Structure 1
Amino acid sequence: MGRALTLEGGSPATYFLDHFTFEIVVRAMDSLGMIQDLNILDLARAAFHRALPGRPLSQIDPGDVRAVMEGLRAVGVADPTGIPRHKLNTAEGWLITPREITAALAAYQQAEPERREAVAARIDEWATWIDFLHTAGDHAGLRSN
């Protein structure tokens, strides 16, 4: 089992990493400062209030849950410093936005060249993965499935 990441915005392009490689890639991204940890409960509250403005939690019905979930899949922070960890670690249809991807790639470029080279030498898929992130950042982002 692995992870499929699909370009958002109607493109059929999908990047697939097997489970083992995906775990190594995420660990490498984390070590290079490309991952951001966010409070998922704060994000859920923000998604709820965007999807159902002015409605208390006690007044939602089952049909509202879908709107809240879609809002949660797309919500992020105003100034990301990388790709949120939860969007990579779970396959829940998260939207990884171009801003999050751009922030992750900026962190990668700011890492010491020796560290970047060591990661590229250790992970066969690394250069292709970075190229895919560049493509996704130039489009509407990625969907984690």
Structure 2
Amino acid sequence: MGRVLTLEGGSPAAHYFFDHFNFEAVVRAMEGLGMIQDLNILDLARVAFHRAFPGHLPDRPGPTSVHAAMEALRAVGAADPTGIPRHKLGTAEGWLITPGEITAALAAYHQADPERRDAVAGRIDEWATWIGFLHAAGDHGGLRST
């Protein structure tokens, strides 16, 4: 199963397509370069719920309240990200990979040992294109994982 990542707020929409094999190789390489962050999804869900319904529960459960909670969950991340949360790359649930998460991942990439970066670029044909797409996404509204 591959992945499509869409530039958030891009007009016209810009997409990055990964097949299953390249996607897995890219995620492993990102992990090795310190670009991935593991977060506790249950803690994130609590934060998202409180952002969606600050100080109160929804008056009436229904499509509007569920939608608000889901959108808040898709966007929530670490207060000070150190990379892209693994779960946002791992599933195609419409996660918003924020510019802050992308910037943190790119900072880790640029701080990694140059020989390790070169080795990744030599192993993964589309690595330079992917890093360029991340730079573009970090300068805009982030990426949506679908």
TM range (shorter): over 0.9
1:129 is aligned to 2:130: yes
How many residues in Structure 1 have an aligned counterpart in Structure 2? 144
Q: Following the alignment from structure 1 to structure 2, what is the Cα–Cα distance between the partners of residues 60 and 23?
A: 42
> Residue in 2 aligned with 1:50?
51
Normalised to the residue count of structure 2, the TM-score between the two structures is 0.94
Shift of 1:56: 4.7
Tell me what 2:141 maps to. 140
Corresponding residue SS for 2:72: helix
Identity of aligned residues (%): 77
Q: Which runs of 4+ in 1 moved over 3 A?
A: none
- 2:96 maps to amino acid: L
1:98 is aligned to 2:99: yes
- The answer for unaligned runs of 5 or more in structure 2 is none
Structure 2 counterparts to residues 1-80 of structure 1, below 5 A: 1-11=1-11, 12-56=13-57, 61-63=61-63, 64-80=65-81
Distance in 2 separating the partners of 1:60 and 1:117: 54
Q: TM-score, with normalisation over the residues of structure 1?
A: 0.95
Specify whether residues 60 and 110 from structure 1 end up closer, same or farther in structure 2 by C-alpha distance, changes over 3 A only.
farther
TM-fit CA distance, 1:60 = 5.9
Report the Cα distance in structure 2 between the residues aligned to 1:97 and 1:53, rounded to whole angstroms: 21
| Structure 2 counterpart of 1:7, one-letter code | L
- Could you tell me how far 1:54 is from its partner in structure 2? 2.4
Distance 1:4 1:41, change over 3 A: same
Structure 1 unmatched runs, 5+: none
